[in-house]
Structure 1
């Protein structure tokens, strides 16, 4: 039997079949890091330079939590949760964002993300049917922006410069990310995200390390950061619907109090397991998100995760069977990767 080896190039993660023929393949990379800081599971290239996109939002929210924004403005848990979330502007999200602005005294016009309609189709259609205009708080990153402005207001920094890469907030975010990733801050690659804020790229195994620390804050030496992580991630679990939206993978995984999870645009997904002391990061190279539940469910199955209800919820989000517009089964999605353990 040929020995399985970990490849340095991308691997096939999911195959889509129409009938018995492969119609599409989704390539990518997966990395799982253990509490000893070593790679425990790998598929493809664990050094792949990966932009965090919105998977970085929990890290971007940590300076505000450390600074005491929650206490200073009397914020409720739902208002804190949207700071770390990619909301879909459902009514529950809009309510939390509106009350967050009211408590902090931040005007919607201070957000640099431009007006848009909600990502949630039902919310979008309801607004359009009423002739309502787009708004900045409907942008899925608006909670992150409000959290950043809240930090600047509380600290006495210039609020209009909250997204400046050279400003005090963004420098603190980079330092926090670098500390959690166990890498020098000057090696964090900076870009600009879709919402206008800085976005960061680090090797995939470093990103898995970040989510290990988010799930197991006892591994974080800095006490203030450790306490902020404990507070924020507990809120993410309790307020899981505010972090994402109805019937989406982040909310589904966060229902499990053993998991800290957050995805980002262009195919990046991350999660950490508290009891198992593992952090995972994956990248679907074509930028697709549809395959996330299948991939994460397969990872959990392969490592012997013992909460079957979580895996079942993921399977319901992304059924293996592909149905056409007539609700006829015409194919299937198959996760085909095998997690390998480096020697």
Structure 2
């Protein structure tokens, strides 16, 4: 599945390259076609949480979001892989309450908060985590909101449920191809497969959505604006999606996915970017997306938060700097090529 991957990040210790991560990167232009790529663009992948904005399309397209009076903050949470901080947990709890539902109606599963202060506080109080702390609880609140409109059964996460059928239709329209299959994600919902080219195309569809006036495009543009307006809701304090969106020199919607996936939506350029690291390493995906965006001029490599993810220092247990992560030079070149296309 991942044959044809090329080196995209190197791990240096002292004067030696100690290891490397290989992967695939595709940049799609405003027409959805590939304008630059590394690796094998036709590789079929599971985009994991990088596809959440696609899964949220039916929520908006159906009118369910407006019926429930959802704000951009809600829509950002529907696209989020949040850290389960109080602001995320509280917002999703309030959202469910407004629907006349509760945490028990979620089907995403329990996950400890990834917010360090809250996690420690809960341990001290002997308080168990709930499904609200799950990084996908916002997406699932969106599913429940859509389900209320569609009138489906309670097991909205099942692949044959109307909610997931609507998500599949949106996914195939965005990627421009029939999905070859799916895997069950960490939150129990189906995660549909696509080619790397298809995922980059989908992001360019979102990036150009504001230039069109059909129902699909209006929904996509609204979700992009929600993500850009609420970067903390999309991930959280200290997270790559949030910090890189905040550091961007132009509007950009960024979304991480498990197993080394990352996507970027650039509305001012109409570009969509997809990154997949073959061994699933988060550090390499963060480095690669940052390097491409630096090459494009979207990010300033001197910004501390850009350096934090693109070329972070490796520090040992005594606090000594022993090495660094270096993005492959080809990534910046890819970004520069895309800027000229």
TM-score when normalising by structure 1: 0.90
1:309, CA displacement in angstroms? 7.5
Matched, 1:54 2:49: yes
Residues 171, 310 of structure 1: alpha-carbon distance in 2 compared, 3 angstrom cutoff: farther
Q: 2:262 aligns with which of 263, 269, 273?
A: 269
Aligned pairs (5 A) from 1:175-214 = 175-183=169-177, 185=178, 187-214=179-206
Q: Structure 1: any 5+ residue segments left out of the alignment?
A: 1-7
Matched, 1:281 2:269: no
1:291, CA displacement in angstroms? 2.5
For 1:37 and 1:233, how far apart are their aligned partners in 2?
17
Residue 14 of structure 1 aligns with which residue?
Answer: 9
Aligned pairs (5 A) from 1:219-298 = 223-255=214-246, 256=248, 258-298=251-291
For 1:58 and 1:126, how far apart are their aligned partners in 2?
32
Contact 1:213 1:219 in 2 (8 A): no
Residues 310, 127 of structure 1: alpha-carbon distance in 2 compared, 3 angstrom cutoff: farther
Q: 1:76 aligns with which of 64, 71, 79?
A: 71
| Most deviating of 119-128 and 207-216 | 119-128
For 1:149 and 1:120, how far apart are their aligned partners in 2?
25
Residue 4 of structure 1 aligns with which residue?
Answer: none
Q: Structure 2: any 5+ residue segments left out of the alignment?
A: none
For 2:77 and 2:141, how far apart are their aligned partners in 1?
9
Please provide the CA RMSD for this pair. Answer: 2.2
TM-score when normalising by structure 2: 0.90
Number of residue pairs matched by the alignment: 331
For 1:309 and 1:21, how far apart are their aligned partners in 2?
23
Contact 2:301 2:307 in 1 (8 A): no
Aligned pairs (5 A) from 1:1-343 = 9-158=4-153, 160-183=154-177, 185=178, 187-218=179-210, 223-255=214-246, 256=248, 258-303=251-296, 305=297, 307-308=299-300, 312-317=304-309, 319-338=311-330, 339=333
Contact 2:65 2:146 in 1 (8 A): no
- Which aligned segments of 4 or more residues in structure 1 are displaced greater than 6 angstroms? none
For 2:34 and 2:171, how far apart are their aligned partners in 1?
19
Contact 1:178 1:188 in 2 (8 A): no
1:139, CA displacement in angstroms? 0.8
CA offsets 1:262-296 (integer angstroms, 9 cap, x no match): 11100011112122221110111111112233212
